[in-house]
Amino acid sequence: MTIILASKSPRRKELLENAQAEIIICPSDAEEDIEEKDPAELVMKLSSLKAESVFEQNPDIFKSLESDKAFILGADTVVYAGGKILGKPADKDEARDMIKLLSGSVHSVFTGFTILFEDGKKITDHAETKVFVYPMSDEEIEDYISTDEPYDKAGAYGIQGLFGKFVEKIEGDYNNVVGLPVSKILHTVKEYNI
């Protein structure tokens, strides 16, 4: 199976490689400026835009592959906390505000994914995982946002990194919080006999 990943995310690439898929990185340049208040709808729309953008930019991408089991995968992840959709923080102040919002509470991580086949068939879905975070002191928050970890991640944290020690528990798919619900994606593909 060959997956054309419409993302530069090293975490998504690693998760898919762990599932023994051949990965071709082909980042999308789709405009991600969508007005949508519902986090599930937002990530599904963005994932669809990314997959379609790669397909439109590279109309012959499937012809160059040796595998007849191939698809484009678009994905987008957001953190939803306190009624707000949190993307990647722009700076330290924004990272601080995000971590303060997550501290001592429960939030959801939504990842939308779109699977686009050579024949134009498209499947879009999402996964949600609830994350329970222990209360963090101001010092712990400052120490954390002084690292490099928060700045390229939705919600300003990486569960697989330094922030993991503040996570009490999760409900749902751990890989979804890292950035991709791999098992759900592969199960979806299997249902469509790829």
Q: Residue ranges of the alpha helices (H) in the chain?
A: 10-18, 39-57, 92-102, 138-145, 174-178, 182-191
Residue 35 phi/psi, 5-degree rounding, is: -90, 105
* Residues catalogued as catalytic: 76
Nearest CA to 116 among 129, 125, 106? 125
Rounded to whole angstroms, the Cα distance separating 174 from 183 reads 10
Instruction: Give φ, ψ of 92 to 5 degrees.
Output: -65, -40
Element (H, E) at 169: strand 167-171
Q: What angle do CA 57, 63, 64 make, to 5 degrees?
A: 85
